[in-house]
Amino acid sequence: MSLSGGNVNNQILSGQSTTWSQFGDQLTVSFAAPVSSPSGYSPDTSVARSGVSFESNLVSSIILPLGPL
């Protein structure tokens, strides 16, 4: 995850699922955000709001590193 020019940018580098097999690397999401610093960011909030509802017991981890894409 990175902050740049008023946008939050996320990229999935290495995902895997039984439905999609391996995915990522080219999957990037960017959205406008009224923040200039990640100082108030908590990964716990992202996990709580991830929306994983179907077979959430099979999700072993969600890793959201803070750094450049």
The predicted-structure confidence for 16-29, as pLDDT tens digits, reads as follows 777 777 777 777 88
Q: What total number of domains does the chain contain?
A: 1
User: Does the residue 69 lie in any domain?
Assistant: no
Find the Cα–Cα–Cα–Cα dihedral 55, 8, 20, 16, rounded to 10°: -70
Q: Quick check: 39 pLDDT over 60?
A: yes
Domain range enclosing 14: 2-34+41-58
Per the domain annotation, does 66 fall within a domain?
Answer: no
Say what the pLDDT of residue 69 is. Answer: 47
- How many Å apart are CA 58 and CA 25, to the nearest integer? 22
Measured between alpha carbons, how far is 29 from 48 in angstroms, rounded to an integer?
Answer: 19
- Shortest CA distance to 10 belongs to which of 26, 28, 35? 28
64 is a domain residue: no
User: Does the predicted model carry a pTM greater than 0.85?
Assistant: no
Q: How far apart are the first and last CA of the chain?
A: 7
